[in-house]
Structure 1
Amino acid sequence: MQGNSSIATLIAALIVGLVVGAAIGYVAHTPSTPSTTTTTTTSGYGYGYTYTSAAETTSSNTQTSTGAAAQAEYDVQLAYSEKYGLYLVDSEGRTLYFFAKDYNGSSSCYGTCAEHWPIFYVENPKIAPGLNPDDFGVVVRKDGSKELTYKGWPLYYFAGDMKPGDINGDGIKGVWFIAKPDYTVLVAVKPDLGAYLVDSEGKTLYVFAKDVNGTSNCYGQCAMKWPPFTPNSLVVPSTLNLTDFSFTKRSDGTIQLAYKGYPLYYWINDMNRGDTTGHGVKNVWSVAFIGGATFNFNQSTTTTTTTSSGPSY
């Protein structure tokens, strides 16, 4: 009997222990943190980019908060997105843009265009670290108003950007581009030519009819008049295809950028931004048209190189 009593007592103790343990476990588990994997959608890029990671979400919120505190300090600063990399924004984080038709550094957006693309101007702007204040300037528009420029390109907002972080204007009509600090080439659109390549400061780039298969044939006196374009990086507008660009090694060891198989050059006689005086020289030099090299100077090239028709807004 004593044995049975001892067994019964042991069983009862085990049952009590299990009940108490379960209760303690429940209480300990109730306040636990949520799963570290969650799906979040952010419209900060203007396209509803979706990612998964609570840790990334927390980090992103922290960075946004820190950035917001810094925004009041600078009139122009850098922002970052996974799609576009670094780009320029104002003190509130609103995206800034370039216009390809401002090829000569003057603003050419007025009337309805300016309603869709308001100009950006701040008197004596405070420039954030990471940007060179010497790259900024001011252009006086035809109506007498002032507009801030970056590397000679007038800066605009896009009315379709509803909030800070939106980037809805990039690539519109092939002539509007997010303002990035690290472009290697950009697109310029000139009424009598159409769309062609320029460097980050708007200097015209050319191709040579005697260059075939991506090989440069311009050396000596030729290269003195037509300096090769030799950037050490490649960042292009979103409307251009990276695969259309390549780097070619010249016989002197320098590395030259090529577009659609043709090495790119400057022309020594282009004195001012927007000049295209090298186009048609000896019928073998042409601006680097977006549509590809063409050396038929007896016919208008505008119809084959312009961007999409209609207003640029």
Structure 2
Amino acid sequence: MPATDLKPWLKSTQEQVDAALRSFLPRENAAPKTIHKAMRYSIFAGGKRLRPVLCLAAAEACGGDVSEALAPACAVEVMHTYSLVHDDLPCMDDDDLRRGRPTSHKVFGEGMAVLTGDALLTEAFAILARTPATKRYSVGDYVREFAETGGSRKLIGGQVLDLEGEGKQLNKAQLIRIHEAKTAALLTCSVRLGAMTANSTPRKLEALTEFGYNLGLAFQVIDDILDVTQTTEMLGKTAGKDEAVDKSTYPAILGLDKSRKEAARLTRKALKSLEVFGKKGSRLEQIARYLLEREY
């Protein structure tokens, strides 16, 4: 599969995900209008849709019907967006810009932003519950996977460690623990749910677990690099924010050169996990290489 066809595929898949999100989410004029307007404001703020793209690509790699994976693909994006809305709050990371637009609390107020995040997380489970069961995996299996990813041991737990680590000199192992729980956990959940909708064998599910974990860590390393090398305009969020709040990052601990080498090493590990898929894993391989080379 030539690398040149990735961007058209990404654009087409992103459009497919956006159309599904529009149909799944409550309409903007549904009462009470403010909360539904706020939910859609953050969802349709122009994100890359990386997590749903990975979910659909994993379903494809396992020989599944991509349409069967649309519900979990949308669910992971909605969970991701809820986490961003809450992360941006003044009591958390306190950011005024997300995806090139004012953050939810700057537009709708802090109280409404809290409720928006709550509503998005709840809606994510409702969307996920629409996923058809397979011979190996029930709807309960999907829900358990999703809940564990978003819970206190992973996504929320990672944010706890992140908050507690501000102003402290963390070592590499402590930093990895934060990003295992945050970035890597949700990327891993995305590919696992996609595979499960395709009735994946245990062997392939384990391979995708390894892929998601290493890709997630690589993605975070690159994110940290971009935070100190790119402008706010390019990133769509406040550049240099981690350094401003004295947060430990890969460049702060390893330096830029070693951080780039770490991202490449983790990407190689992710790619090695795809060997079991042969040519069917080529789309996931393309995405991993694309993320390593991204500029923003």
TM value normalised by structure 1: 0.26
The higher radius of gyration belongs to 1
Larger relative helix fraction: 2
TM value normalised by structure 2: 0.27
Considering Cα pairs closer than 8 Å and 6+ residues apart, tell me whether 1 or 2 has the greater RCO.
2
Larger relative strand fraction: 1
